[in-house]
Amino acid sequence: MNIDFHVHGILSKKLKFDSELFLQGVEYAKENGLDGFVLCEHFNAIDLLSSYSYLEENYEYVGDRYIVDGFSVFIGMEVDIRYGGHVIVCGNREDILKIRNYLEPYTSKSNFIPFGKLLDLGEKYNCLMIGSHPYREKHKLYLQPKKYLERLDALDLNTKDIYKRGLSIVEEEVATLAENLNIPYVTGSDSHYPVQLGTVKTCFENECYTINDLKENIKSKKYVIEISKALKLKVYTSKITKNYIKKQIKLSKNNYKNLKSN
């Protein structure tokens, strides 16, 4: 079973959830060799709950994932933590909603949740917790205390970092940190637009239907990692397209405001 552990279903956390774009992402992921992904929108995205509601209203939930046209969609959130860094928290749908409700007082940069408190919360609900892009310039998760980092289930080998800094550099950093913490690392495309899906894959020997399945297979390292040779082209294309769409949305909103004021 081939999985991407870091996928966003919205172009930007300031924009609305687009079900058509989401379904295009699922189809593109399938065509590029993925069997499932973790949908982990930013926890303070303005339309995060709409993505959950859309899945709940339209698709069957089996194990701990939605089945979207034969494709497995696990849900979670990418959470900002105090003093820098992002953590992906993936769990059962009911538990994720409880966690999001708990995080409501922590949505602003001045009051992000402490790392230890988030870990306690994730462990309480048996969530899969992955340290996102630990060496990214503006989100230096690796600087967090080791006593917290080693409680993570895995680290994130991230497509965007590979694109910017090169596979050999990024993987060496992540692999070394993972070894020092005695935890594995998995892959995440960090996709906000479908073209980026399939650039990285974590390929499990077994099928994974529940959070426990994911955690156990990651812990036992029953997987291999695949990196697309077309990664740079796909990320560049995704970046250009995403920025173009965002500009068009902004222009459309401005035009609407102008019409109302006239």
pLDDT digits (tens, 9 = 90+) for 146-194: 999 999 999 999 999 999 999 999 999 999 999 999 999 999 999 999 9
Percent share of the chain, pLDDT over 70? 96
Q: How far apart are CA 59 and CA 195, in angstroms?
A: 23
Instruction: Write down the residue that tokens 């089996």 correspond to.
Output: 62
For the whole model, what pTM was predicted? 0.94
Chain-wide mean pLDDT for the chain?
A: 95
- Fold classification of 2-261 (topology level): TIM Barrel (3.20.20)
Q: What is the CA radius of gyration of the chain?
A: 18
Distance separating alpha carbons of residues 214 and 153, to the nearest angstrom: 10
Q: What is the pLDDT of residue 177?
A: 98
